[in-house]
Structure formats: structure tokens, C-alpha cells
Amino acid sequence: MNIIDELKWRGAINQMSDEKELHSLVEQKSIGLYCGVDPTGDSLHIGHLIPFMMLKRFQMAGHRAHIVIGGGTGSIGDPSGKKAERVLQSMEQIHHNEEKLTAQMKHLFGKDNITVVNNYDWLSKIDLLRFLRDYGKLFNVNTMLGKEVVASRLEVGISFTEFTYQILQSIDFYHLLKNNDVQLQIGGADQWGNITAGIDMIHKLSGSDKKVFALTIPLMLKADGTKFGKTAGGAIWLDPEKTTPYEFYQFWLNQDDRDVIKYLKYFTFLSHEEINELAEKVKSCPEKREAQRRLAEEVTAFVHGEKAVEQAEHISRALFSGDVKQLTATEIEQGFKNMPTIEITNDTKNIIEWLVDTKIEKSKRQAREDVTNGAIYINGERIRNLDFVIEPQNNFDGKFVIARRGKKKYYLAKVK
């Protein structure tokens, strides 16, 4: 199937310039295309991932994918999606972010048909007079003001710095066309104005018959109308230090039935047949959540690897069954990250005293009652003995004690 038709089936195209010509071109040959990301942070989150999934599909179809790390554009700030000016980061912080993002991209895209570049390498070499004469002269201010990315900021104001962002992005497209034979730029829906500005500039510099194209993806909303990728706990990051693989897996596992097939089309490389089969299962037996489980497995494996999937599923089974003693200290750090946490010393202590000292129980009377009734579990074992002694050094590398009261109320005690 033509890659354009594939993206259409997956609902992944918002706007596209000269669709017929682009459809024909990708049928005839391997083309160069690119997607960019500015180093405003040291990790991508899943909202950033969406256009890069489209880039990955082109790469897998044999096209030459290019990733632009925006060391130059990131130093001035993209006005899109912002109601006010960005706070400029230090160049030291930007360079740190560049290194982290480059490593993430290389992990996701591998080595075949992929080139990672940094636009600081060419933008930093353009002096002010050359910028104004060679490029600024090609842009009409009235046209720039009409671009949504700028127009949305006019009421509150926009600095000249951020106003020039679309010129710098246009230079990127022109540079990659000349040096890497890149003919297509892809990006989020809010990038349409910037991408088409680049096409206009290229036509002025290289002739109106120059074949260059724009493709944007839709703004992704959940079935309830809210923005995809945001949770009560904040963004879902690709960096395992920011969002653990277990949390990442659980995010996908907990998706709404109304959204899961759309996400399977966007974020996995499953075939049409497999996705259609899962869509039927959502209708016929939604309680089994097979589509959500497959989504969680596929996306977690893509971002973190198969071992992370196995670990996430192992943690999930242990928490569901209550058999937490089988977990490693590393798995406990992932699975209990957002559960109530208390600090304890390494001292041995009677269970009744320990439950009161940790404030898991309000009083010794209540503690004795809960232990006698079998409501207290320590490290996965039900404790009914009032003389039981807590020995922190005996489990989980001496780092943790896991307490549970009732069926689901877990507490993580960390040894200081």
C-alpha cells in the first residue's frame, strides 16, 4: 500500500500540499523527509511522539527519514501553542537537552534510513545582514501576520525574536533540500503555517516548479474532548527516569474503549487485519480489554523494549494478586512510585508498634484488631500473629517493606 494511503487509513493526515503529486512521487522513489523538535526539554513526551510515529512509518517504507534537533530554533522559541513568550534557556541547558533528545531519537529510529542533524550547525553561521538580505527580504510581513501561529499571539503580543521563527524553520527546509535532497516536511497541525512558509521561500529561491511538500497530522483529542497525553500527574514522558516503564504501560492499558482503536492505528505497527480484529473484540467483549493490552504491549516495547513490557506485566500481576514478595527492589520502585510512601529506620520492631509509628494505623487497639482479623499483609504475607517482628533488612535488598491493609490499600516503607 502507498504510504499516503496507509496514513489516511490510520487517520493520521490533517493537511497535505499537492496530494496527487506527493502520492505519485512516493510511489516512484525513495524520498527524503524530515520532522523537527526543539530542545526545550531533555525528553520527548507522548504528544511529541505522534509526528515521529509518522516519520517512522516513512522510514519503514524505505524512505530517507531526517530528524532535526532544533538547537538553533530552540534558542529563540517557537510561538506556536503558547499564549505568551517562552522564557529563553541558557545555551548550556539547550546543549544538554540536545544530547538527551538525540539519544532518544537514535534509540527509536535505529540506524537504517535515518539521519539526525542539528539546525544550530547551519543557523549559527548566518550573520545578521545575510539573514535580512538573503531570507528576510523574501517574507511579506502581512503574510506572516496571517499565519495562525502568529495571529493567535497578536492580542497579547509577540516579540520580533519569536516572530522570525518561521523564517528560521523555512531556512531549515531549504538547507535540507539542498544538502540532503529532502522534499517533504511533516509536523503537528499547528506547524502548517511554518511549513508552507518554507515551501513559499523555496519556490522563490529555487523556482516554482521545485517539488517540495507539506504534511501535518491532526490535533489528537480524547473521546471526552480533552487533549491527549495529559494526565492528573502531568505529561507521559519517554524518559524512564521521568515516567517509569510500568507507569508508561499502565497509561496505555487504561485507555477508553472509544479511543483505543484510534491509538492502535496511530501508535502501533500492527496490520490492518490485526487492528480490525481488535476493534471487533472491543465491541463483543470489552471487559477483556484485549485491545488496550495489545496497545500497551506494542507502544511500551517500541519505546522501552520487550524486557520493559515483561517487567511491567510482572508488576501488574503481582499487585493484582497481592503476591508482591516476588518483585525485585527495582520493580518495587516502579510499581509503588505513586503509592503512599513513608520512611523507616532499619530497626526491627513489633508489628503493632510499627503500624502505629508509620501511621498506617491510628492506634494500637485498631492495629491489634486488624492484625487479628487478617487485614494486614507485610511483604505479601498475611500476618495474624500479634508478636510478629518487622525486619526491614530481610527483604528487597533491605530497601523496602511493603504493607497492605485490606484488599487494595498499599503502603511503601522506604528504609532511610
Instruction: Name the residue ranges covered by the structural domains of the chain.
Output: 3-217, 230-321, 341-415
Q: How far apart (Å, rounded) are the C-alpha atoms in residues 54 and 13?
A: 9
State the average pLDDT over residues 25-40: 95
Tens-place pLDDT, residues 281-326: 999 999 999 999 999 999 999 999 999 999 999 999 988 888 898 8
Angle 24-67-184 (CA atoms, 0-180°, nearest 5)? 25
348 φ/ψ angles, rounded to the nearest 5 degrees: -75, 150
| Residues known to be catalytic | 40, 45, 48, 82, 86, 169, 190, 227, 230-231
User: Which CATH code fits 3-217?
Assistant: 3.40.50.620
State the average pLDDT over residues 62-74: 95
Q: Is residue 230 annotated as involved in ligand binding? A: yes
Q: How many helices (H) and strands (E) does the chain have?
A: 19, 15
* pLDDT at position 109: 93
Task: Supply the pTM of this predicted model.
Answer: 0.88
Q: Is residue 34 annotated as involved in ligand binding? A: yes
Topology (CATH level 3) of domain 341-415: 3.10.290
Q: Is residue 266 annotated as involved in ligand binding? A: no
Q: Cα 63 to chain center, whole Å?
A: 23
Give the model's confidence band at 153: pLDDT under 50 very low, under 70 low, under 90 confident, else very high.
Answer: confident
**Which of 177-181, 294-298, 325-329 shows the lowest mean pLDDT across its residues?**
325-329
Q: Is residue 183 annotated as involved in ligand binding? A: no
Q: How far apart (Å, rounded) are the C-alpha atoms in residues 267 and 253?
A: 13
Q: Which one is the CATH code of 230-321: 2.30.30.140, 3.20.20.140, 3.40.50.620, 1.10.240.10?
A: 1.10.240.10
